Structure 1
Amino acid sequence: MEKILTGTVVLDLTRFFSGPQATLFLAGLGAEVIKIDDPATGDPTTFSPPFAGPEGVSFHRKTQADMGIAYLKRARGKKSVGLNLKAPEGRAAFMKLVRSADVVIDNFSAGVADRLGIGYETLREANPGIVHCSLTGYGSTGPERNLKAYDLMVQAAVGMMSVTGQPDAPPAKAGSPLSDAIAGTFAATGILAALLHRNRTGEGQSVDVSMADCLFALMFDEPFDCYRSLGLPLRQGNRIMRFSPFNAYRTRDGWVVAGAATQDDWNALLRAMGREDLAENPQINSLSWRLANNATVDSLMSSWTEPLESAEVLRRLNEVKVPCSPVREIGEVMEWAQLKDRDMMMPLWNPLAQATVEAKGPGFPIKFSASKAAYDTPAPLPGQHSREVLMNLGGFSAHDVDAMARRGIISAP
């Protein structure tokens, strides 16, 4: 099956996580994603810890074949070109690639692309149909657009850390870099929308993606601005203020989560617990009462779950179709048959070691009935495709490429 974005050329100037996440999705959909890195420094994750190689994973390179796990995950399905954009000759070569490309994406700080001479207006002059995506911490406009930001800063800035964790606990971020991952997902979506717009109108455009905007857009479905009026603490722990019960509960051998979002869920939960008698209690049978008395409801749940093993709690809840799950540790997640069946844990290939490594990477998360979506090639060696891309896409001769390599404009192993 042909992939949806087959034939689409993406010039990828991004680094670290948010931008490479966006282009990883585009690669999985079939785009020809061409990573462009400075020949002198390369992708900062290529040889950054933690490493994976012939002798396992480590914070130190045990062998010359060890490579960064982040690079092996994020560079899958992509090509690698080493090109010095700070040199006039390198910029000229890049602009020749732009004329044949569909998308240019960067996650430079606001204004950097313009200073390099490769901002959107310059790109549009070379290729009026180009789709340009700029992915920054706070966006390309606004009073704080020039501030540098990583995931931690964005989670703090938009209030995520103030609502994460237990009441009276200090600020805490989510356990994974959500703002990076979410912004990368939004960027890929924005690029797809702009490509669809171009197919309809012939017009390219610039897509401005802010990590802060993206994270805030998702978290602000919850009415946090009304919590004070409702008499609620911002930190709800595992609870959602609209449902009760809704929490993590200790069992004899671990933890499970369970929740009742509807009256049917609550009635089914009472059956699972063998407490149908409570269905006649007008107080506890009222969602409003349960929300106001969460601690009492949680105590009722815990008194039922704690003497039982997790498997038995889950069996009873699933039997009556109450939403529930075991709280899996990562080692257990890696053995979860559901994710394995959907190809969500894929081996990583180390091109220096010419072998798979101990670490794994996520598979493509969307399944299509009529199209293929997957990361078909492993992470490339740095500069592996410089010669191929410059000759095939940029129209350079072999002589030109060799000359640029000698002058350090490109890396072409």
Structure 2
Amino acid sequence: ATASSWGPEGPESNRRGYDYLGQARSGFMSAVGEPDMPPLLAASPIADQMGAIMLAYGILAALFARDRFGVGKEVNASLLGSMIWLQCLSINTSLLAGWEMPRQAKSQVWNPVYCHYKCSDGKWIALGLLQSDRYWADFCKAMELEKLENDPRFENLVQRAINSKELVPILESRFASKPSDEWVEVLQQAELLFCRVNSISDLINDPQVTANDYITEYDHPALGKVNMVGFPIHMSETPLSVRMPAPE
């Protein structure tokens, strides 16, 4: 099995690369952010991680094929290919439509209730009302914005998309009137889809993160008890755990 930067074929197959370059060449950096921003680098080394994940995926698939068909395979996964695969939905959409999906300004989102808003304490709330027509009346009631429910500018998904420049500032102003804890309570009581926009330091206090051991405590031989990232999957009969430190 081989991990490469740009794939096993082509004129640059032997050229070296790093995470930064994988994010750049795959189109990822040009796809995130708002229209007037320069290309943005993800805070996490996502290309390195995706390359490793896809290499492991390929190895497991090859081992399964060997056991079933008795044939071995050479496996290669690259930073470039893995990052393109990560974006397959948006890239396929662009290829099929014949035009590149543009960056979108927050003020011009196609669905203003599938967006994020800043609260009075500086924290952010992300709304997940993808089926906005289904939840629009309940949302307006919960936000005490009943007058918007039957406003012809916002009466359905299409009109809210057309008039997002008008709706987004209204919602920004409303969310800015209360701290995030109050909005969490309001939105939970209304049974609407939402979540907090966490920072890295917020994760350790997120009850879902801790309940599922997505961040777990580990007794490090040199550092003592530390918190570190756990496993994103659970196995019923063979629970996963962090058992040893990284090799030095």
* Bin for the TM-score computed over the shorter chain: 0.7 to 0.9
Aligned residue for 2:214? 344
Q: 2:245 aligns with which of 350, 360, 378?
A: 378
Distance apart, 1:196 and its partner CA: 1.4
- Counterpart in the other structure of 1:198: 66
Give secondary structure in 1 for the equivalent of 2:65: helix
1:147 to 6, 15, 19: 15
Residues 19 and 46, structure 2, Cα contact 8 Å, conserved in 1: yes
Q: Report deviation, 1:226.
A: 7.7
Report if the CA contact (8 A) 1:260-1:323 is conserved: yes
Deviation at 1:267, TM superposition (A): 3.0
Task: Tell me the TM-score normalized by structure 1.
Answer: 0.54
Structure-2 separation of matches of 1:177 and 1:241: 27
The Cα shift of 1:143 comes to 2.6
Segments of structure 1 that go 5 or more residues without pairing to the other structure are 1-132, 383-413
Q: Map residues 262-301 of structure 1 onto 2, 5 A cutoff.
A: 262=131, 263-301=133-171
Conserved? CA contact 1:245–1:294, under 8 Å: no
Name the structure 2 match of 1:175. Answer: 43
Q: Which structure dedicates a bigger proportion of its chain to helix?
A: 2
CA shift at 1:176, angstroms? 1.0
Q: In 1, Cα distance between the equivalents of 2:11 and 2:167?
A: 46
Question: 2: distance between equivalents of 1:177 and 1:372?
Answer: 27
Alpha-carbon RMSD? 2.6
CA contact (8 A) 1:244 1:287 kept: no
The residue type equivalent to 2:48 in the other structure is: D
Q: Report 1:184-333 matches (<5 A).
A: 184-222=52-90, 223-224=93-94, 234-236=102-104, 243-254=111-122, 255-262=124-131, 263-333=133-203
* Ranges in structure 2 where 5+ consecutive residues have no aligned partner: none
Over 3 Å counting, the alpha-carbon distance change for 1:237 and 1:195 in structure 2 is farther
User: Shift of the alpha carbon at 1:224?
Assistant: 4.3
Q: Between the two structures, name the one with larger relative contact order (CA 8 Å, sep ≥ 6).
A: 1
CA change 1:250–1:226 in 2 (3 A) is farther
Per-residue Cα deviation, 1:340-380 (whole angstroms, up to 9, x for no partner)? 121222345555x3x4265x321111002233323323334
How big is the shift at 1:164?
1.6
Specify the alignment match of 1:335 in structure 2: 205
Query: Is residue 157 from structure 1 mapped to residue 31 from structure 2 by the alignment?
Result: no
Q: Equivalents in 1 of 2:16, 2:154: separation in Å? A: 50
* 1:238 Cα deviation from its structure 2 partner: 6.0
In 2: Cα distance, 1:144 partner to 1:162 partner: 22
Q: Do 2:111 and 2:164's aligned partners in 1 also have CA atoms closer than 8 Å?
A: no
TM-score (norm: length of structure 2):
0.86
1:303 maps to a residue whose letter is S
Residue 228 to residue 313, structure 1, CA distance change in 2 (3 Å) = farther
Deviations 1:22-64 (A, max 9, x none): xxxxxxxxxxxxxxxxxxxxxxxxxxxxxxxxxxxxxxxxxxx
Aligned to 2:233: 366
Residues 107 and 164, structure 2, Cα contact 8 Å, conserved in 1: no
Q: Map Cα deviations across residues 223-249 of structure 1 (whole Å, 9 max, x no partner).
A: 34589959x7x2225699653333221
Quick check: which one's strand share is greater? 1
Distance in 2 between residues matched to 1:258 and 1:328, nearest whole Å:
13
